[in-house]
Amino acid sequence: MIRRKVLVTGGAGFLGSHLCERLLDADCDVICVDNFFTGRKENIAHLMGNPYFEMLRHDVTFPLYLEVEEIYNLACPASPVHYQFDPVQTTKTSVHGAINMLGLARRTRATIFQASTSEVYGDPEVHPQREDYRGNVNPIGPRACYDEGKRCAETLFFDYHRQHGLNIRVARIFNTYGPRMHPNDGRVVSNFIVQALRGEPIAIYGDGSQSRSFCYVDDMVEAFLRMMAAPDAVTGPLNLGNPVEFTIRALAEKVIAMTGSHSELIFRPLPEDDPRQRQPDIAQAREILGWEPSVQIEDGLERTVAYFRQLLDR
């Protein structure tokens, strides 16, 4: 059997570790690259005995020389707590990382997938968000290191495609949740579950009326694989996410009920530039990839709660 050689940057992270699993299941030879800023060895420890899995500690802001056929570029802290910790490094990871991975793809003629983000839409004035919406981003705000870094990375991907004929795939990922989320990443699902399991007050920023759409990790990884396998003309950008929308308050109440917690809700000021609404229009993903999420929020939350319950009991 000839196995595809696949590189996953950020492979020890939440999404990356699930992707590495699926690629191994598909008989790929997987190289996982991570600098462990937010990635965790626990996420990939169970893969280390697989002879077709290789772990490389490396920072994508420096060039990497490998022979691969496909590249999934997932390397970048994705939660405000982490990407605002060192905003200059966050921008470097998005921009220098993209340049280095695109350079590798150009040399090896690999197809390269970019994990972009719904944050390219900023605080949107169009709802739901479609791929042709150009966004409402504050370029000098505290979230700009991530938002504008990812926007610049998209620019680089399409310039390499036009200038060098590179096969690219650009996915705009909306809120995703599931097992292996970092317990201290500050994202709303992990925050609420950890606080509820500990019996702590659940902190809602703003009045809780702002909305998000939550996609379970298995559905998201399936979309990644379908997009990579699509014809070369499918460059994206494609929205990937769950179009079912929830208010933040409704999510908190659902988590409290599911965990049997007695946590109370407390309200704190909304962070600067925090989006009021976030909901993907996934018509293109449905049409082009034949994909839409299948895991219901109740089922996904149940699996995620079980993961965090086990994690906190250690």
Catalytic residues, by residue number, are 146
- Residue at 143: amino acid letter: R
Tokens of 266: 């407390």
Residues 6+ apart with CB under 8 A from 290: 226
Instruction: Report the C-alpha gap between 248 and 210 in whole angstroms.
Output: 6
Half-sphere exposure of 158 (CA within 13 A, CB side): 12
Inter-CA distances, 300 with 103, 184, 313, Å: 37, 19, 20
Alpha carbon distance, N-terminus to C-terminus of the chain: 41
Query: Residue for token digits 């290789």?
Result: 54
Peptide bond between residue 128 and the one before it cis (omega within 30 degrees of 0): yes
Tokens of 246: 């929830």
Exposed/middle/buried for residue 221 (C-beta within 10 Å: 0-12, 13-18, 19+) = buried
Tokens of 58: 């490396």
Instruction: Report the C-alpha gap between 287 and 291 in whole angstroms.
Output: 8
Instruction: Report the C-alpha gap between 124 and 220 in whole angstroms.
Output: 22
Instruction: Report the C-alpha gap between 266 and 263 in whole angstroms.
Output: 9
Tokens of 288: 């082009």
Angle at 222 between CA 135 and CA 227, to 5 degrees: 60
Nearest to 114 by CA among 263, 244, 236: 236
Instruction: Report the C-alpha gap between 239 and 135 in whole angstroms.
Output: 13
